[in-house]
Amino acid sequence: MKYMMLIQAAAGQTEPECTPADWMAYDKEVRDAGILVSGESLADLVTATTVRVDKEGKRTVTDGPFAETREVLGGFYVIDVPDLDVALDWAARCPGSRGGGSIVVRPVADFDA
């Protein structure tokens, strides 16, 4: 069963509690466990652009997502593990879950089933 782990970083955080080495170690663990489907780290939030199309088909392009929440999506993993508890264990080990960040775990819909 595939789960997406959305890595939410606490916005406005100046002193991250995890180092690049922590992330590299975690990334290696996920790969070595053979559960990695895909994963990416996103570029800084200021580089984000939002597109909306209204009923008339008019396109509106604006800067950034509306950062109304105190957390910003920093990256994601898709992992393939047997059940939610295993997915939650991997999420808990992710460096992004610490220091005010959080990991949202969502099952990937399986339309073949």
Q: Which residues bind another protein (CB under 8 A)?
A: 1, 82-85, 88, 107, 113
Kindly tell me which of 2 and 98 has the beta carbon lying closer to another protein: 2
Minimum CB distance to another protein, residue 1 (Å)? 5
Minimum CB distance to another protein, residue 85 (Å)? 5
Kindly tell me which of 40 and 83 has the beta carbon lying closer to another protein: 83
Ordered strands of the 102-107 beta sheet? 36-41, 71-80, 2-10, 102-107
Distance, in Å, from the CA atom of 8 to the CA atom of 6, rounded to the nearest integer, reads 6
Distance, in Å, from the CA atom of 94 to the CA atom of 104, rounded to the nearest integer, reads 11
Minimum CB distance to another protein, residue 105 (Å)? 8
3-class secondary-structure state, position 92? helix
Minimum CB distance to another protein, residue 29 (Å)? 19
Tokens of 104: 């949202």
Kindly tell me which of 1 and 42 has the beta carbon lying closer to another protein: 1
Distance, in Å, from the CA atom of 21 to the CA atom of 40, rounded to the nearest integer, reads 16
